[in-house]
Amino acid sequence: MYSFLSSPVTSYSNLPQQISIMNYSVLKELDCKVPFKRFSIKYVIAGEETYFVNGKRYAIKSDEYLIANQFAEGSVIIDSKTPVKGLCIDIAPNLIEEAVASFIRPDTFFPDNNLSAFFNTNTFLENQYQAKNTIVGHDLIELSNAYADQPELPRVIPDAVFYNIAEHFVADHIGLYRQLQQIPAIKQQTKKELMRRLQTAKAFMDEHFLALPTIKHIATYCNLSEFHFFRLYKKVYGESPYHYMLKKRMEFAAGLLKDPNINVTDVASMAGFADVYSFSKAFKKYFRVAPSQFSIG
C-alpha cells in the first residue's frame, strides 16, 4: 500500500518502513527531528527549508530538493513570514532494491541485495540538488504543478507514481555511485565530502557556463585547491571542466540555431564567443557540421 498523508512530517514516523508516502506541507514554522526511515526526497516548492543531516547543513530553496536514505539522522527548521510549501516523498527501501535490480539486470526476477548496497547502507551520498538538473527533479516539478491548484490532495497516490520515482531515483544515482568510486580516498566520509564539492562545482558551471569561469574561480567556489579540483574533476567525470562547459555552450548554441529568427553571428555572441569565426570553428569540431548547415538541417 502506498499512501499520501497531508500532515506534518512527524505524523508518519511510526508507519512501517516498507511503505511509500507522499506528504505535502504548507508551514511558516517548524523545528523537529526528521525520521529518515526510507529514501526521503525533500522538495521545496516555495520558500526555504533548512535541514541538518549527518552533521551537515543544507539550505533547500525553491525548486531544490534534498535526498537521504534510512541511515541518515537529522532535523528540519522552517522559520518564515510567508508560507513555505514543500513536497516530501518517502520511497520504501524494497522498492529501490527492485528498481536497482531492474536497472542493472533487467533479466533478474528478484532484487539482488549486492546491487543495492550503495543505496541501502550508510555509504549513500545524501545531498541537495536543483530540480531542473535531474530526472527525479522533473518528476517533482510535474507533481507540484499537478497539485498546485488543489486545496487538498488525495489520500491515496497511484502506485505508478512511486514506481516511476523509484526508477528515476536509481537512474540519477547509478552514475553517481560509479563516479564516487573514482575518488582516491580511503575514508568513505572523505569520498562523500569530495563528491559533494565536485557536484557543487558542476552545478556552478551549469549556471555560469556562458561566462566561462576560470578553473581558479570554480575551485574557490567549491572550496578546493585549483590543482586538486582539476585533477579530481577529470578523474571522476572523464573530461576537464573546460570541455564540460564547452559542451554546454555547444548544446546551448545548437538550441538557438533552431530558431530561424536568430542568425549565426548573434548565436556566437549569445553563446559567449568573441567572434563568429572562433564559434564556427568550435561548433564544426564538436558537431562535424558548420553552424549554417546545422541551422538549415
Q: Read off the pLDDT of residues 54-101 as tens digits, 9 standing for 90 and up.
A: 989 999 999 999 999 988 999 999 999 999 999 999 998 888 888 888
**Whether the model pTM is above 0.85:** no
Going by pLDDT thresholds of 50, 70 and 90, the confidence category of residue 123 is confident
Q: What whole-number distance in Å separates Cα of residue 59 and Cα of residue 66?
A: 9
The pLDDT assigned to 25 comes to 87
The pLDDT assigned to 3 comes to 46
Long-range Cβ contact pairs of 221-226 (< 8 A, separation 24 or more):
222/197, 222/198, 223/197, 224/194, 224/197
Q: What whole-number distance in Å separates Cα of residue 284 and Cα of residue 222?
A: 32
CATH code given to domain 3-181: 2.60.120.810
Q: What whole-number distance in Å separates Cα of residue 11 and Cα of residue 24?
A: 12
Q: List, in order, residues 6 or more apart from 166 with CB less than 8 Å away.
A: 20, 91, 95, 96, 98, 99
Q: What whole-number distance in Å separates Cα of residue 260 and Cα of residue 267?
A: 11
The pLDDT assigned to 6 comes to 44
Q: Which CATH number fits domain 244-296: 2.40.50.140, 3.40.190.10, 1.20.1090.10, 1.10.10.60?
A: 1.10.10.60
Between 82 and 15, name the one with better pLDDT. Answer: 82
Lowest-confidence segment of 3-17, 82-96, 268-282 by average pLDDT? 3-17
Question: What confidence tens digit (pLDDT) does each residue in 208-225 have?
Answer: 999 989 999 999 999 999
